[in-house]
Structure 1
């Protein structure tokens, strides 16, 4: 906990936040009952696929630009950029099993290719590596085999991303990768294998129920064994994505970035991931438009997060980062009741989240550990302080996200409105004239990633920055 927050919120901070609540009372009250968040989310999710580089993502950008205009942002425009787009074809997973009496049979299971899986076919034995941690992969002979790993992580451990599991397994010689959902309901998961480029091995997602059978047939499970035939049909092609940009507050030399990704996977409506997040940002922008800000805010809907943070990378590369005080990334806010603020080692941004929580009596849980798997990463690794805002379901893993079940009926738009109000207050406080937000120290940041045991997986996924050697 930062020294000047919670029980000892600095007087000037408390006075400023209370004054902001008075100033924005009409906007806050209007937002509390506004149907715009639900209408916006409905228009976005009605598109179906918003896969990065697709026509659906382009149409989503138009809806976002209209939302920015209605929120009162100025200079709304799009910034197009080239991407390597991935298009899903068919995928097939067959297992030939041999029973104790020597008889054989073939089973077919529903499966989905994971984005940036190359097209191809592999046939081999397969092994169950549990959660897919580096330690579990090291404990099995994966060379020349297909690896089967869960979407979740061990209780009490840090979150281990699929890219780490996949990258480390392939580094150890695996020929293919099967990602097993931990959520009931015959829901094969999706999720990108690489940041914007074709991966090195075929990979698919299967349901929890399918995974239970695969584990029975795995080479490292006593009893009936199986041999897997795994095939993927997919293509990569040149494509175009775009960021949508609007501005609020003064045209100051220093500014803040408020970002959220608006793309989603092609297998669902993307209501939770990240329809809620971009709807929350549009809601916050409508409140900020009524605020007397000391520092200008660029509000940016970034494309292609799901296939490699490509829109955020574009934004980082085309922005004078010396002029950026901090980045607020909204990825997962609006989904569930309470906000969670990841400060990515920045004590200053954590202090703001804690102060707003204390003064509004709305719980915001703060966590300091960094990770590289959302749109704050291109900025954090360059030393820009950040807050990543999501919400806590009380369960491990993505839940309905990245499955066919990520649909609008799962959303309670009261959460979107409330989180929009809180995020507007967070951004306004970060924009205060005398708010000091120190840059991140590169060596300390690298040590934080090492302490969180991210280094092996990030190296396997080719995400470890060269300057951190």
Structure 2
């Protein structure tokens, strides 16, 4: 619980920052930036569009007052989408064969391949549900969502567990209406072991009706995926605001996006929030006691590759804490995920109390965004997100993730809150203890992550 002293400290800071906050509230820069970013189209990791986006972000950082802005390239395995098809063969009521083809979107790092097999419905695709049926040699049908009241089980966990159990392929069914096949990476940066595609909720209804383990006539499905994984280059855009101190904070967001839409919400809003945030932090009125490294990272959507590269390059003993802006700016209220750090949670709660602005603070950890390479090495972190109130990604990772879904008032407002959180984390009186590896592992076990993370090959070796 924030103390009265902490709350008063933030309120005093509000007076100092008032001119910069006011300019942010009235500025049209966030909308212009999102417009330019989404106009690029495909920002898939390792693509020409991602490179163009990196240059756009670098220019925006420099214009906002970030110093020493530079692109740092790194090698990665780029996945390239070809065609994919799914054909379901059944019989009509007269006994005649009926073949129907459905729209699909191949999932990144799916290998090329053809599978002809029975379908098996595994519901939400949790490990418990997969264990209940025989998936060996079959095409698994799994939902994008998870049961109410449980933690959100990630696509990588579902895919990894199903393939480990013998599945020949994976069909990822959107739980939202609208003929929107979802996408999303199967692995962290390397070719997966079985072909996989996303299909719409409407397609999923047909597939489940003809699965081998559901009432009615079973069908046979033919899945074909054309794709390739080749060497390529991505880049992180880095710079600094505040003094040149050894001890510093890291403010990070990913600028890449999936190739099937404009990636306006995920993570166009997040990187736009960071651009607006650094405009506040670079203001002459802001007297930061330590420096803030600013990084726009590539390849988050295909395995946190940019963040992994950044974590490997930095001396993490000098990084006091990380603020990862992935999901902020999309919806009305900010969510702060503290990943077991009571200290970063307290900083977010202090800002919420001081500004009388709701921030939903959650302590539970997860490994599926750019804070993960730092958290698992003991660096305290916050992931700034926002919540629509619905379960799952909504428009994200579909054709519908387009600029018209963006409300830039959320971006501007969340940038102001992000700046206040960063300045509070930087305060000399704010202690940010390192995360204990054993306690962190226990927290992941308590949140029921171990089985899924092992299936997705994400469980750290030193947590054994």
Using structure 2 for the length normalisation, give the TM-score.
Answer: 0.99
- Cα distance between partner residues in 2 of 1:375 and 1:401: 17
- Cα distance between partner residues in 1 of 2:135 and 2:404: 41
My pick for the range that moved more, 316-325 or 427-436, is 427-436
Whether 1:160 and 2:153 are equivalent positions in the alignment is yes
- Cα distance between partner residues in 1 of 2:12 and 2:215: 67
Whether 1:364 and 2:359 are equivalent positions in the alignment is yes
- Cα distance between partner residues in 2 of 1:270 and 1:21: 33
Match of 2:325 among 324, 330, 341: 330
User: What are the equivalent positions in structure 2 for 1:145-224 lying under 5 Å apart?
Assistant: 145-224=138-217
Shift of 1:434: 2.2
SS in 2 for 1:24: helix
Whether 1:296 and 2:294 are equivalent positions in the alignment is no
- Cα distance between partner residues in 1 of 2:449 and 2:122: 19
- Which residue number in structure 1 is paired with residue 231 of structure 2? 238
- Which residue number in structure 2 is paired with residue 104 of structure 1? 97
Match of 2:314 among 306, 316, 319: 319
- Cα distance between partner residues in 2 of 1:28 and 1:394: 27
Deviation per residue, 1:134-183 (Å, 9 max, x gap): 00000110011110000011000100000000000000000000000011
Whether 1:86 and 2:63 are equivalent positions in the alignment is no
- Cα distance between partner residues in 2 of 1:124 and 1:15: 64
Is the contact made by 2:33 and 2:272 (CA closer than 8 Å) also made in structure 1? yes
Shift of 1:101: 5.3
SS in 2 for 1:115: coil
My pick for the range that moved more, 94-103 or 114-123, is 94-103
Is the contact made by 1:99 and 1:225 (CA closer than 8 Å) also made in structure 2? no
Is the contact made by 2:8 and 2:354 (CA closer than 8 Å) also made in structure 1? no
Match of 1:423 among 412, 418, 425: 418
Whether 1:376 and 2:371 are equivalent positions in the alignment is yes
Shift of 1:99: 4.7
CA RMSD of aligned residues (A): 0.8
- Cα distance between partner residues in 1 of 2:149 and 2:415: 31
User: What are the equivalent positions in structure 2 for 1:10-89 lying under 5 Å apart?
Assistant: 10-11=4-5, 13-89=6-82
- Cα distance between partner residues in 2 of 1:159 and 1:98: 37
Is the contact made by 2:124 and 2:146 (CA closer than 8 Å) also made in structure 1? yes
**Structure 1 residue ranges (4+ consecutive) displaced by more than 2 angstroms after TM superposition:** 98-103
Whether 1:401 and 2:396 are equivalent positions in the alignment is yes
Shift of 1:206: 0.3
Is the contact made by 2:170 and 2:196 (CA closer than 8 Å) also made in structure 1? yes
Is the contact made by 2:7 and 2:353 (CA closer than 8 Å) also made in structure 1? no
**Which 5+ residue runs of structure 2 have no aligned equivalent?**
none
